Chains A and B, each alone.
Chain A
Amino acid sequence: NTDNEPRTGQWEDALTLVALHQDKAAYAELFRYFAPRLRAFGIKMFGNEQQAMEMVQDAMLNVWRKARLFDASRGCASTWIFTIARNVRFDMLRKKQSRKDDISADDLWFDGDYPEQESNSSDSWDTMLMSEKLAPHFDALPPAQRMVMQKVYLEEKSHQEVSDELAIPLGTVKSRIRLALDRLREALDDTRS
């Protein structure tokens, strides 16, 4: 049953079992879901099947070996697996072209938490969102972000309801709202490079 809708928390639980007991059945479940998806990502990025499969094997091996390093309180399993694959891919590309004294994935992507900042409230956006000027930009949002915005702001659903309905992690719902707000902000003023 590889392609059934994933239940929220399913992959985090599986990773925890792998971390605690080297649970091969839990790992197989993760593998059967993520390996084909990483392969599709790899083909998109490399443009060829062979390198994509090399990346899948390396990334999924890291998931198996380093499961203990996964910390569910810092984010969901799919995000952790995606960043592992992204880093493996980057280092594969660089190794092919260059010396060892090089920019590596470890330089570019910090594997840890930055100090917490006071969250800048998005309250002022509630009124901004009603502005007519925003309407055309709203339509230009990426579909996944527009969907979340529509459910939260037009259908007045809670973040948790949207997470359940779309079968995406709660953190991703919050991320997509912040990204959509930032994209709207960027559309309205142009202080960015």
Chain B
Amino acid sequence: MTHAVKFHPGLMLLEQYVEGSLSADVALAVSAHIDLCPHCQQLSKDITNDQAAVLAEQDVSGRDAEQEWQQMLNFITSQPTISSSASTHTDTAPQVASVSVNGRTFEIPRALARLAEKQNKWLHLGGIATAKLPTADKQHVSLLYIDKGTEVPNHTHLGLEMTLVLAGKIVDENGEYGVGDLLINSPDDTHTPRTLADEDCLCLSVLSAPLKFNKGLTRLLNPLQQFFY
């Protein structure tokens, strides 16, 4: 790791991710963060052990359904098992994939590899480009590319915004974010993200509601809102 990840999902978010109770789009951002963050790799492994032990320790006495269980058991053990030749699971480092935009090619984390193969085409506006990833949700998971020396206009979040830096660096009023850093903005947070003069940036963006742009004429802002959401 050339860059130490500084901004992580909180423990509660990681616990919900491990449990499988986060919405798929938020879980995707957390999963991609984990691919980039050794600290959270260890933590999520620990949380998985912890939750599995809690499950195994449960007291389930009191319900008698012997016949039902026996039927299920008979059904299962009558099924074929997979052959040993098929047992080639991934026990090596995760695969990486890449995406190209603005004449540049970037590596992206394992969690995004399959979806990025089916990404929508890049839409460009000034130095900014977005490409939606085809999730079955309300289509608000996208790759966001920001050319060097470019500013995303000041905006307020109407919902949750998660931005995971995949390459390069992004700066806003609250700090500087590098590869693996996960910015979470809540409803009513306002900021003006930008890139530095010498480095562009690729992010994963997850939005639960449109952005509200704060400057300029309303009729000019509406298309911008469509562009990001």
Give Cα A97 to B11, complex, Å.
Answer: 28
B residues 43-83 touching A (CB-CB < 8 Å): 43, 45-58, 60-61, 63, 68-69, 72-73, 75-77, 79-82
Binary contact readout B23-49 vs A (1 if CB under 8 angstroms, 0 otherwise): 011011001001100110111011111
8 Å CB contact of B69 from A31, A98, A120: A31
A60 touches B183 (CB 8 A): no
Is B209 among interface residues, defined by CB-CB distance under 8 A?
A: no
Is B203 among interface residues, defined by CB-CB distance under 8 A?
A: no
Is A140 among interface residues, defined by CB-CB distance under 8 A?
A: no
**Contacts of B90 on A, CB cut-off 8 Å?**
110-112
Is A132 among interface residues, defined by CB-CB distance under 8 A?
A: no
Spot the interface stretch: B110-118, B210-218, B219-227.
Answer: B110-118
A6 touches B56 (CB 8 A): yes
A192 touches B11 (CB 8 A): yes
8 Å CB contact of B94 from A33, A76, A114: A114
8 Å CB contact of B79 from A45, A61, A183: A61
B6 touches A98 (CB 8 A): no
Interface size of B as a range: 35 or more
**Contacts of B54 on A, CB cut-off 8 Å?**
144
**Contacts of A157 on B, CB cut-off 8 Å?**
none
Interface size of A as a range: 35 or more
**Contacts of B47 on A, CB cut-off 8 Å?**
175, 179
With both chains docked as a complex, state the minimum distance between the C-beta of A117 and any C-beta of chain B, in angstroms: 4
Given contacts A68-B81, A178-B43, contact A113 B91 (CB under 8 A): yes
A86 touches B76 (CB 8 A): no
B43 touches A179 (CB 8 A): yes
Give Cα A28 to B13, complex, Å.
Answer: 36
Is A103 among interface residues, defined by CB-CB distance under 8 A?
A: yes
B43 touches A182 (CB 8 A): yes
Is A127 among interface residues, defined by CB-CB distance under 8 A?
A: no
With both chains docked as a complex, state the minimum distance between the C-beta of A191 and any C-beta of chain B, in angstroms: 7
**Contacts of B77 on A, CB cut-off 8 Å?**
24, 27-28, 64
**Contacts of A179 on B, CB cut-off 8 Å?**
11, 43, 46-47, 50
Q: Give residues in B with beta carbon < 8 Å to A.
A: 6-11, 13, 17-21, 24-25, 27-28, 31, 34-35, 38-39, 41-43, 45-58, 60-61, 63, 68-69, 72-73, 75-77, 79-82, 84, 87, 89-94, 110-112, 114-115, 118, 134-137, 182-184
Q: Give residues in A with beta carbon < 8 Å to B.
A: 3, 6, 22, 24, 27-28, 31-41, 45, 53, 56-57, 60-61, 64-69, 71, 74-76, 78-79, 81-83, 86-87, 89-90, 94, 97-99, 101-115, 117, 120, 144-145, 168-169, 171-172, 174-176, 178-179, 182-183, 186, 191-193
